[in-house]
Amino acid sequence: MSAPRGGRGLSFGWLALLSLGSAATVLLVATILVAVLRPGPGIGLVIVLAGVVGAIAAMGLVSTRLTRRALDEADDDPGTGPSA
């Protein structure tokens, strides 16, 4: 879904890449924490669950921010409104 007249628009590929990249980064940090700290089973489970929750939150934040930015740019373009 690209914007007309060379605008940036919303690329679903870019959205997916950045969303999954942010989640992978959070999971990588959680994995490094578990590997470095070598916690017991209880603390390790808490770190991993926090990593999963953080990954889901990061995906939501990144995708929402990118989508809002693309939609705001589309609203600002005078040739792409409902009245055009």
CA distance 81 to 53: 37
Question: Hey, what are 81's tokens?
Answer: 């409104």
pLDDT, one tens digit per residue, over 24-47 is 999 999 999 999 999 999 999 999
Question: Hey, what are 56's tokens?
Answer: 């889901």
Question: Hey, what are 60's tokens?
Answer: 């939501």
Q: Cβ neighbours of residue 15 under 8 Å, at least 6 residues apart?
A: 63, 66, 67
* Residues 48/49/55/60 CA torsion (nearest 10 deg): 180
Q: Tell me which residues of the chain have a pLDDT lower than 50.
A: 2-6
- pLDDT computed for residue 73 by the predictor: 82
- pLDDT computed for residue 75 by the predictor: 78
